Structure 1
Amino acid sequence: MHFTKSSLLAALASSASAYSATQRTFAVNHFYGKGPLVSGRMDPLTNPGEASGHAHTIQGGNAFALTMTDDQALKSTCTSSLVKNDKSNYWTPSLYFKDPKTGMLESVEMFYMNVYYFFEPTTDKIKAFPPGLRILIGDPKLRTPPKTGGKNILDLADGTPQPIQFTCPRSNPSTPLYPTNSDGLHGVGIQDPGNKGAGVGFPDQNCDGYASPLRADIHFPSCYNPAAGLQNYKENMQFPTKGNCPEGWIHTPHMFYEVYWNTPVFKDRWTQGQGTQPFVLSNGDPTGYSLHGDFIAGWDVNTLQQIIDNCDAGDSGMDKCPGLIGGLHDSSTSCKIQSPIQETIFGTMSALPGKNPIGDWGVNVAGSPPAAAAPVSTAAPSAPAAPSPTSTKPIKGAVNAEVPTEVKPVVSPAPVAGDNGDAPGATGGKASSTTLTKAPVAVQEAEATGGPGVVTSYVYTTEMFYKTVTTDAAAPVATGSSSAIAGWTYTGCYEDDTGANRVLKGVEFADVGQHSVTNTKCVDYCGKRGFSMAGTEYGGQCFCGNSLVKTTKIDDSRCSMPCEGDKSQVCGGAKALSIYTNSAAGKIRRSVRARHLN
């Protein structure tokens, strides 16, 4: 066969970057957009067809649902993976901060996530994941450290695998990350003897390395037993032995999750280096030992195989792999779906989602909490679309707590007094023909876990979306009365960054009383302190400022959470602020970051 010079160089480059028996090659799978695909109590591996016992943060294809068929991920119409032909799903428990003073819990934003695809030295043929392969690594019931200590063990020849760690990069690593005498059973984890920046269990230090807050490190096994099958996540995978898999098994890529949480925003609210720490996983684990990762394969097999055989892009990412099949997504966009379990999972709350109790160090959990109510339909969505009510069956395991009542705009026969024409319920004297009212409801008896009252369950089969609402209160409206917020105007719903770059920076988390936040109290608090802008969020948070920083106006439907202090008012939503301005303060001064929102 005749080779041209260019084809020969290409062939040499390809063979040089392919995996081998002597060295590791790898490429990092990056995600794009603002935030994950979805967060919520969803886990089609361990809790198919019902609410998971705890909240997860999920990346990947938008066909993700409570129940997944083997080929369902491949039907995704978009994915949060930068690589278009990766429609797999990747998820881990969410993280919360427990305030040492108040005992209240606050969601910790996922800073970002990377998934490394390692192609380890082996004489096996490394093959792409078969679509529908389910993998779970880690034990959600653990509250005790591994017997192997803090060191990673990823080959059976080296002993019992220990694939879970935390890494904590610090600007000043002179202080030990873990106490030297820690047994891992009394408030803090154990140091990795070979890595002073890592260990098992949560550390008692703040992680403030450059772009590197607290990081969860989760290694996945790479030997798949086809005899066990795609869905048998308890027995279908194991770690290799001296780099190779057993005869008849398939050697797949070695995945490694890096999940960064924005913990430094809480650094001034707890004391470091005292043998205790304030973070808790969503399953009620204050130790971190129960950290785990889940995966459902949704790769186009040819695309992943081409990456395995030809790409050694390393930290630069799969987007730099030569000849990438299918190409990349526009990184200025986002791919998102809505959680089918509508409950409070962001912001400040008195209990973890699913009402998980917070456990103790050194006491493993015997089992998972029982789910409530009956199972739901397992019909798989073909693609996310505009939902429409089709059933009233409750979702199994859903907890009817802190859920906003759904509202729909309708045309009123007469102007509504007090509206200004810019937003429903805003003050200013102009009339408006638009108001808010409840959508029609179908009524049934409340489940025991939901407490007394009447509930409604909306089932949106187009994207497996289930919503439970109470009917014991009037529908919330955008503002309070005109007399209560005299001089202030509702400006609209604006996107917030719940990390370090808050939109309103004058006063963050204004103290207007626990569970008593209303729009009227918030604007009164901010106005008395000389601020011209006020914003409410998550139904129970108040912020003040004089300008909006790096934000954009979003649809009012994103601001739909009833105020904790007055259910007739709406106080923002998840990462969404209901903004009010003092009419005497002039125009809003803001810096807008242009981007597309799905």
Structure 2
Amino acid sequence: MKFTTTATLASLAALASAKDSRTFAVLRFNGDGFLTEGPMDPIVSPGAVSSHYHSIMGGNKFGTLVEGDQLGSSTCTTAKLNNDNSNYWVPALFFQDPKNGTFQKVPLFYMNVYYFFEATDDTIKPFPMGLKMLSGDATTRSPPKSGGALNLDPDNGIPINSVQWTCPRSSYDPPSYPVGSDGSTAGIVDPNNKGSGSGFPLYPCDGYASPLRQDIHFPSCYNPNAGLDDHANNMKFPSNVGSKQNCPAGWIHTPHIFFEVYWNTPLFNNYWTPDGKNQPFVLSSGDATGYSSHADFISGWDQNTLQTIINTCDAGDLDRPHLWHSSKEW
């Protein structure tokens, strides 16, 4: 989609944005790597050194401290859409050599962020400039209560599980996750997808253009009473109301963003021998289970641009929405 004038954007943004069915758009990033990397996390550790190393995409006003509309003054962004100066980041991934225990950083293969606009009675609005969000738990080493399946429903009595790992393989014999795993010694397979689950899989991924993928969903209901900086309390997932997803009264319904981070793990295939018991990848948080997968986001969007995308962009409603070759992309 191409944008021309501010007047055109403002006109399109005035359209209603409640949805009778889900639509989505796909944000890609330029270049062969991240904007920057290092022990930085302006959400959890503002102005200080982070407890672990992160890999960051987006606007170049990122730093250890990000406040207010700071990202709006970015002079460039790795996002392919210039009006998105937001920052998106995840913990870095490392390969630990089984022979000598040394670590090597795994390069990025590529990264997408899906912007889902769910069916809702609410009016979907842009993220406020400077909104800070975190999804996942960097401190956990325990499997989620939902097992290997995602759970984004806050009302079904099961704790939210917003993260998974996906590892397409030409054959799942032997399986990527042990049959009957309870998560204590290895990850747990998603009952609906042999190639996905909670925690790291135990065998290399060999799907076409699909190495090991880190999947993170973010909540889409913003509580303005909590404020932009209170990442622990300012967001929640919407409730299911019939066929629609609605936010609590007084909350703002924002886009549902979904990170796909493809790590170039095939580069290391010749350096380890799968045995169905151990795998060699470790998150920078020191986690070899993969359960602590998480991601962060600070909005730096031009408001009119994002509202226009919410109202008018539709890449279709694919059965497998992570497929990156949709017919309409930004």
Q: Output the TM-score relative to the length of structure 2.
A: 0.89
Provide, for residues 423-467 of structure 1, a one-character-per-residue CA deviation record: whole Å limited to 9, x for no partner. xxxxxxxxxxxxxxxxxxxxxxxxxxxxxxxxxxxxxxxxxxxxx
Alignment partner, residue 107 of structure 1: 105
Partner residue, 1:350: none
Matched residue, 1:258: 260
Residue 307 (structure 2) pairs with residue 298 (structure 1): no
Structure 1 residues 179 and 316: alpha-carbon distance in aligned structure 2, compared to 1, 3 A threshold: closer
In the alignment, the residues of structure 2 paired with residue 124 and residue 235 of structure 1 have an alpha-carbon distance, to the nearest angstrom, of 20
Q: 2:288 maps to which residue?
A: 286
**Counterparts of 2:28 and 2:16, CA distance in 1:** 20
SS at match of 2:269: helix
- Secondary structure of 1:288's aligned partner: coil
Matched residue type, 1:265? L
Aligned pairs for 1:273-422 within 5 A = 273-313=275-315, 315=324, 320=329
Report the Cα offset of residue 154 of structure 1: 1.1
Q: How far did residue 174 of structure 1 move?
A: 3.6
- Following the alignment from structure 1 to structure 2, what is the Cα–Cα distance between the partners of residues 259 and 74? 24
- CA contact under 8 A between 2:19 and 2:117: conserved in structure 1? no
Give CA-to-partner distance per residue, 1:143-174, whole Å, 9 cap, x none.
01011111111122333211110000112234
Separation in structure 1 between the aligned mates of residue 308 and residue 96 of structure 2, nearest angstrom: 45
Preserved contact between residue 18 and residue 123 of structure 2 (Cα < 8 Å): no
- 1:208-258 deviations in whole A, cap 9, x for unaligned? 111100000000000000000000001000000111000000000000000
The question of whether the paired residues in 2 share the 8 Å contact of 1:29 and 1:81 is answered with yes
Q: Which amino acid aligns with 2:260?
A: E
Q: Which of the pair has more CA radius of gyration?
A: 1
Write the deviation string for residues 519-541 of structure 1: whole angstroms up to 9, x where unpaired.
xxxxxxxxxxxxxxxxxxxxxxx
* Distance apart, 1:183 and its partner CA: 2.0
What is the CA deviation profile of residues 279-331 of structure 1, one whole-angstrom value per residue up to 9, with x for unaligned ones? 1000100101011000000000000000000100355679846xxxxxxxxxx
Structure 1: how far apart are the matches of 2:119 and 2:155?
A: 15
Instruction: Report the counterpart of residue 82 of structure 1 in structure 2.
Output: 80
Post-superposition, which runs of at least 4 consecutive aligned residues in structure 1 deviate over 3 A? 17-22, 314-321
Change beyond 3 A, Cα 1:280–1:180: same
CA distance in 2, matches of 1:22, 1:175: 42
Q: Give the counterpart of 1:235 among 229, 233, 240.
A: 233
Give the residue type in structure 2 aligned to 1:198: S
Q: Secondary structure at the match of 1:156?
A: coil
Give 2:174's aligned residue. Answer: 175
Distance 1:161 1:170 in 2: 27
Structure 1 residue identity aligned to 2:172: P
**1:76: Cα distance to partner?**
0.3
CA distance in 1 between partners of 2:276 and 2:163 (Å): 24
User: In structure 2, what is the equivalent of residue 152 of structure 1?
Assistant: 150
Instruction: Provide the C-alpha distance between the structure 1 equivalents of 2:22 and 2:298, rounded to a whole number of angstroms.
Output: 24
**Equivalent position amino acid for 2:175 in 1:** P
CA displacement, residues 363-401 of structure 1 (integer Å, 9 cap, x when unaligned) = xxxxxxxxxxxxxxxxxxxxxxxxxxxxxxxxxxxxxxx
Query: TM-score scaled to structure 1, two decimals?
Result: 0.50
Does structure 2 conserve the Cα–Cα contact (< 8 Å) formed by 1:18 and 1:311?
A: no
Tell me whether 38-47 or 299-308 shows the greater mean CA deviation: 38-47
The partner residue of 1:208 within 206, 209, 212 is: 206
Using the alignment, how far apart are the partners of 2:151 and 2:67 within structure 1? 33
For residues 23-74 of structure 1, give each alpha carbon's deviation from its aligned partner in whole angstroms, at most 9, with x where no partner exists.
2100010001121101111110111111111111100000001101111110
In structure 1, give the amino acid aligned to 2:222.
Y
- Give yes or no for contact 1:126–1:253 (8 Å, CA) kept in 2: yes
Answer whether contact 1:30 1:318 (CA < 8 A) is retained. Answer: no
Residue 43 (structure 1) aligned with residue 41 (structure 2) = yes
Q: Work out which of the residue numbers 266, 269, 277 in structure 2 matches 1:267.
A: 269
Cα distance, 1:124–1:212 mapped onto 2, change above 3 Å? same
- What is the CA distance between 1:271 and its match in structure 2? 2.0
| Cα gap change, 1:316 to 1:206, in 2 (>3 Å) | closer
**Residue identity matched to 1:179:** P
The answer for the alignment partner of 1:165 in structure 2 is 164
What is the rounded CA distance, in whole Å, between the counterparts of 1:218 and 1:251 in structure 2? Answer: 19
Q: Which amino acid aligns with 1:304?
A: L
Structure 1 counterpart SS, 2:270: helix
Counterpart code for 1:31: F
> Which residue in the other structure is 1:137 paired with?
135
Q: Secondary structure at 2:155's aligned position in 1?
A: helix
The answer as to whether partners of 2:32 and 2:110 remain within 8 angstroms in 1 is: no
Contact 1:30 1:317 in 2 (8 A): no
Quote the offset at 1:181 in angstroms.
2.7
CA–CA distance in 1 between the matches of 2:191 and 2:139?
A: 25
Tell me, yes or no, if the aligned pair for 1:281 and 1:288 is still in contact at 8 Å. Answer: yes
Seen in structure 2, the aligned counterparts of structure 1 residues 71 and 319 have a Cα distance that, compared at 3 Å, is farther
* Equivalent residue number for residue 8 of structure 2: none
Shift of 1:176: 1.2
1:185 is matched by which residue type in structure 2?
A: S
Aligned residues: 305
Aligned 8 A contact 1:205 1:272 in 2: yes
**Partner of 1:157: helix, strand, or coil?**
coil
Secondary structure of the corresponding residue to residue 25 of structure 2: strand
Which residue, 105, 118, 121 being the options, matches 2:119? 121
3-state secondary structure, aligned to 2:239: coil
Unaligned runs of 5+ in 1: 1-13, 322-598
After superposition, the CA RMSD in angstroms is 1.8
